[in-house]
């Protein structure tokens, strides 16, 4: 049997009754973590994930503000990139776009643009913080 045929047949074969085989968790109600996943490291409840997201956004925003005060455009860009990545992963497109603008200005070393854009980014972070607080 060829390697491709072997891979296809194993992918579509019925699961074995092996005691060590992984068993999918039962679906749960929306917003709940299944008991099987609750004990897995790294899996958190939705409320905990939201709190962690808010903390990460706040920390990155504080770092961006401090870096700007110190005249460190590259550090502002790094903090803005973290905000953009977090925002994109949670689907906050407007916040992600704003953070990418700040990131580009920081990478270019344009401190005047950063002076104008950082307050706007702070407002966007705060707006999303309020929206997240209402979701809980």
Structural contact between residues 56 and 64, judged by C-beta atoms closer than 8 angstroms: no
The pLDDT of residue 32: 46
- Specify the pTM: 0.66
Nearest to 46 by CA among 56, 36, 32: 32
On the 0-12 / 13-18 / 19+ scale of CB atoms within 10 A, 100 is: middle
The pLDDT of residue 35: 44
Which residues, including other chains, have CB under 8 Å from residue 33's CB and lie 6 or more apart?
43, 44, 45, 46
d(CA 62, CA 17): 53
Tens-digit pLDDT profile for residues 97-131: 999 999 999 999 999 999 999 999 999 999 998 88
Query: Which regions of the chain are under pLDDT 70?
Result: 1-44, 136
The pLDDT of residue 12: 43
In degrees and rounded to multiples of 5, residue 72 shows phi and psi of -105, 85
Look-up: residue for tokens 């580009």? 104
d(CA 131, CA 25): 30
d(CA 59, CA 55): 6
Domain-wise residue ranges, the chain: 46-135
The pLDDT of residue 126: 94
d(CA 101, CA 116): 11
The pLDDT of residue 84: 97
d(CA 75, CA 71): 9
The pLDDT of residue 57: 94
The pLDDT of residue 133: 79
CATH topology for the 46-135 domain: 1.20.120
């Amino acid at each position: 049997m060829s390697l491709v045929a072997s891979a296809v047949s194993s992918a579509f074969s019925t699961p074995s009754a092996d005691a060590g085989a992984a068993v999918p968790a039962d679906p749960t109600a929306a917003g709940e973590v299944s008991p099987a996943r609750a004990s897995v490291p790294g899996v958190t409840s939705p409320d905990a994930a939201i709190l962690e997201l808010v903390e990460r956004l706040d920390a990155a925003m504080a770092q961006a503000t401090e870096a700007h005060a110190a005249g460190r455009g590259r550090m502002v860009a790094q903090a803005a990139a973290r905000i953009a990545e977090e925002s994109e992963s949670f689907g906050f497109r407007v916040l992600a776009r704003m953070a990418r603008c700040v990131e580009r200005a920081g990478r270019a070393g344009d401190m005047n643009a950063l002076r104008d854009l950082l307050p706007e980014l702070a407002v966007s972070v705060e707006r999303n913080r309020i929206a997240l607080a209402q979701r809980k």
